[in-house]
Structure 1
Amino acid sequence: MVKCKLKIVLIEDDLALGSSILELLILSDFDVKWIKDGVKALKYFQKNVPDVIISDLMMPIMGGEELFLKIKKNIRFKTVPFIVITANMDDNIKFRQLENGVNDFIMKPFKVKELVYKIKNVIELKKNIEKKYIPDPFSKVTIKLSEKDFLTSLNEVLVKHLKSKIDMNELSSQLFISKSTLDKRVRKLTNKNASQYIREFKLEYAIKLIGLGERNVQYLSDETGFNSFSYFSTSFKSYLNVTPRDYIKSIQNEKDSLL
C-alpha cells in the first residue's frame, strides 16, 4: 500500500530561501507546492486544501497575515494548521497573529529541521483529536448497549451534531431510548445531568482544539455549537475557572517557556 505524503503549501517570495526550504521539505518526504505570493496562493486555495500551510509574514501585494484572515473565512480551512515564517520579533505583531488564530511561528534565520518538527507536531495533534472524537465505525459489534457502549454511542451522536444544538428528544431518538432514560443513564455513569454532560463534552472539544493550536475564540465558539460567544465564554470560565483568552495565553506562555 502506497503511503500518502503530507501535502504542504509553502508561500515565500524570497527565491533563494524558498528554493532551499522546498528542497529540504521534499527530502523530508513531504509533497510541497511552492507559491511565490499571497494572491496566487489565495487563487490556488480556491480548488486545493493542503494538510499544512507555511507562509512568510511580510510579502508584497498580500502578506501572510492578510492571506490567513482571508482563507480562515472558508470552513474548509478551519482545521488546516497555519505556520508563519517571520524575521520580525516585535511582540505586538506576534501577539496579533496568535489572536488571529495562527498555529505557530518560526523565526528567521532557522534550521529546516526545526520547521519539520513543527509540521509533524501540529499534524500529530490534529490526528490525535480526530482519533479521540471520531469513533471507529467497526467498533459496534453488539446490538444491546453496555454502559461503556452507551457513552461511546452518545459521544458519536454529539460529534455529528457538534456545531448545532441537538435537543434531548432528537438525541434520545437517535439512541433509541426515551428522554428520561437518557438522563438517568447519563446521571448514573457520570454524576451529571444530560445537559451538563453535553455542555462539558463541547468544552472539552474546544480545549482539544486549543491544544492543537487554535487561538481564535470566536471560531472555538462556532465549532462547538454554542448559542452565542458570550455563553461559550461564560460556560468555559465556569468549567475551568479561567476565561478562554486567559487559558489560551497560559498555554502559549507554557509553550514559549519550553522553547
Structure 2
Amino acid sequence: MKIYKRKIVLIEDDKALGNSILELLLFNNFEVTWFDDSIKALDYLSQNFPDLIISDLMMPGMNGEDLYLNIRKNKKFTVVPFIIITANIDDEVKLRQLEHGVNDYIMKPFQIKELILKVNNVLELRKNIEKNFGIDPFSKVTIKLSEKDFLTSLNEALLKDIKVRPNLDELSKSLFISKSTLDKRIRKLTNKNISQYIREFKIQYAMKLIDLGERNIQFLVDQTGFGSFSYFSTSFKSYLNISPRDYIKSVQSSQIEE
C-alpha cells in the first residue's frame, strides 16, 4: 500500500541553505519541490497544489512577501499553510506578514527540530480542520438530514460555501424553498433574521477553528468570508463581547491550565 507523502514547495535562493532544508524534509518523509527563484515557484504553483509552502523572505526579484500576496490571489490557496524563513527581526515586518495571513515564522539561524516541529504542527492543524469540517453536502446522510431537520440542512449549505458571501437565491434553491420562506423559517426557529443567523454561524465556525488551534486572525477572516478584518472583529466582539485576540488568549490560557 502506497503511503501518501505531504507535498511541500520550498522557495530559498541560498543554495547551501536550500539544499540543507531539502535534505532535512526528505529525510522526514516529505515530498519536496525546491525553487531558488520565486518567479519559477509562482509559475509552478499555478498548476500544482501542495500541502505547505515554505519561503525565504528576502530574495531578489520577487521577495517572500510579494510571493505570498500573489499566491493568495488564488482562493484555492487560502487553505495552504505558508511559513516564512527570515533573518529579519524587525517587529513591523513580522507583524505585517502575520496581518497578511502568513501562518508562522522560522528565524535564521534555526534548529532542525524547530523546523520539523513547526511544519508538522501547521500540517496537523489543517488536517484537524478538514477532519472536523469536511462535510460532503451531497452525501446520503446529508440528504436524510435535509428531510428531517431544516437547520441541519441550512448549516451544511452554509458550511459548503463558508468562505464566500452567501447568495440567498442560491441558498434558498438548495433548500427547495423561496427566499421569503427561508427568512420566515429562520425567524420562526431562531428568532433571528437571516443575515444575523448567517453572521453568527460564521463566527461560531471561527470559534471552532480557534479551539482547534488556529491563531491567525486574517486566516479566520478568509476562511469565514467576512471580507474585511474590521468587519470580522466587530461582528466577533458583538457576538461574544470579547475581541478575537482576547478570545484566542483565553483559549490558550485554558489549554495551558489543562
Deviation of 1:216 after TM superposition, in Å, equals 2.7
The residue that corresponds to 2:67 in the other structure is 67
In 1: Cα distance, 2:227 partner to 2:17 partner: 46
TM-score normalized by structure 1?
Answer: 0.78
Matches within 5 A, 1:236-251: 236-244=236-244, 246-247=245-246
Q: Which residue of the partner structure matches residue 127 of structure 1? A: 127
| Equivalent-residue separation in structure 1 for 2:76 and 2:195 (angstroms) | 30
Computed over aligned residues only, the root mean square deviation of the Cα atoms, in angstroms, reads: 3.2
Match of 1:212 in 2: 214
Identity %: 56
Q: In 2, Cα distance between the equivalents of 1:51 and 1:227? A: 24
* Residue 58 of structure 1: aligned partner: 58
For residues 141 and 76 of structure 1, the distance between their equivalents in structure 2, rounded to whole angstroms, comes to 27
SS in 1 for 2:159: helix
Map 1:166-181 to 2 at 5 A: 166-167=167-168, 171=171, 174-175=174-175, 179=182, 180-181=184-185
- How many equivalent residue pairs? 245
Instruction: Call closer, same or farther: CA 1:195–1:74 in 2, change over 3 Å.
Output: closer
Output one character per residue of 1:95-122: Cα deviation in whole Å (capped at 9) or x when no partner. 1111121100011111222212211211
CA contact (8 A) 1:103 1:215 kept: no
Alignment map for 1:45-124 (pairs within 5 Å)? 45-124=45-124
Q: Aligned equivalents of 1:155 and 1:61: distance in 2?
A: 45
Match of 1:164, SS state, is coil
TM-score of the two chains, using structure 2 as the length reference = 0.78
Mapped to 1, the partners of 2:98 and 2:52 lie a distance apart of: 17
Task: Check 1:213–1:51 CA distance in 2 against 1; reply closer, same or farther (3 A cut).
Answer: farther
Structure 2 unaligned regions, length at least 5 = none
SS of residue in 1 equivalent to 2:79? coil
Query: Is residue 2:159 matched to residue 1:159?
Result: yes
User: Structure 1 residue 32: deviation in Å?
Assistant: 0.2
Question: Deviation at 1:196?
Answer: 3.5
Offset, 1:230: 5.4
- Whether 2:7 is the aligned partner of 1:7: answer yes
Kept in 1: contact 2:146–2:153 (CA 8 A): no
